[in-house]
Structure 1
């Protein structure tokens, strides 16, 4: 290996994490409705996948055009780990130090949006009330435990994405006898 994959993973993970933080704080600064919408839709935007793919191809290029599967997986998953840690810290700061009422305020908007979506899908009032109550009970605060749990669950999904990225960026050397 010519290039340290963990250093490169840390670099691209920092890029992804900082971009996610800018998006999170920027949407919060634009208002609560924007924050809630961006928080929801941000989960579906593949900007981190694109950044890690670009980094993986750069890493492969720096390694003479080859990147073994194990090294590619270390790079891609470590990028996600670094990004997740940065985002978790920034989330804690936003929800617990900067805007202590953000959990409750954003939950109210999320509940309204959920109610509207359920109504569009034809759910009856009883089903909606039951689901909304269940959602509201699980979201009283955004403490360190909840952030830690969310980060851990997110990393499981991130590992799956890292595997897919690895399949794209890896290139094994072919040895001939």
Structure 2
């Protein structure tokens, strides 16, 4: 990977991390219940894709050699890893050190939404109570669960990154 590509991936990863933190801080400051809304996931998804694709596009523009699949994926992946890592560390600190009560509030709000959804789909009362008990016992913001979430997001976005790298790569010219 070229030095400029690495620098771009790192820069855009930091931009992504800061943007995700800003979204979290704004929602935390105004209405923490918004963190349980589906559209927040969609907004974060679009932001992550936008900045990572922008990083790949810019790296391709500045590439002095053939922009390979490996280089495209590397820029994308570096952006994703750094951005998600920064946001994950921030969440870990916010919900475990700064305001553990907010984590409990989020858990309760999420449980209410999940219970309503399960009732809407006709889940029997005993199964609903069992599911709610399991969720209540789980520490959503534990280091283990946050690490699992981080790894899951990396896998998910890496699959998307493979497609993006295929789109942005340059093929070797064939000689006939």
Normalising to structure 1: TM-score of the pair? Answer: 0.87
How many corresponding residue pairs? Answer: 174
Q: Look up the SS of the partner of 2:100 in the other structure.
A: coil
Given the alignment of the two structures, is residue 102 of structure 1 paired with residue 77 of structure 2, yes or no?
no
* Structure 2 gap ranges (5+): none
RMSD across aligned C-alpha pairs, in angstroms?
A: 2.1
Instruction: Compute the displacement of 1:97 (Å).
Output: 2.2
Aligned equivalents of 2:167 and 2:15: distance in 1? 20
Instruction: Compute the displacement of 1:9 (Å).
Output: 0.8
Given the alignment of the two structures, is residue 53 of structure 1 paired with residue 44 of structure 2, yes or no?
no
Q: Look up the SS of the partner of 1:101 in the other structure.
A: helix
Kept after mapping to 2: 8 A contact 1:17/1:87: yes
Instruction: Compute the displacement of 1:164 (Å).
Output: 1.9
* Structure 1 gap ranges (5+): none
Q: Stretches of 4+ moved more than 4 A in 1?
A: none
Q: Look up the SS of the partner of 1:92 in the other structure.
A: helix
Match of 1:144 in 2: 143
The 5-angstrom pairing of residues 154-173 of structure 1 reads 154-173=153-172
Match of 1:8 in 2: 8
Normalising to structure 2: TM-score of the pair? Answer: 0.87
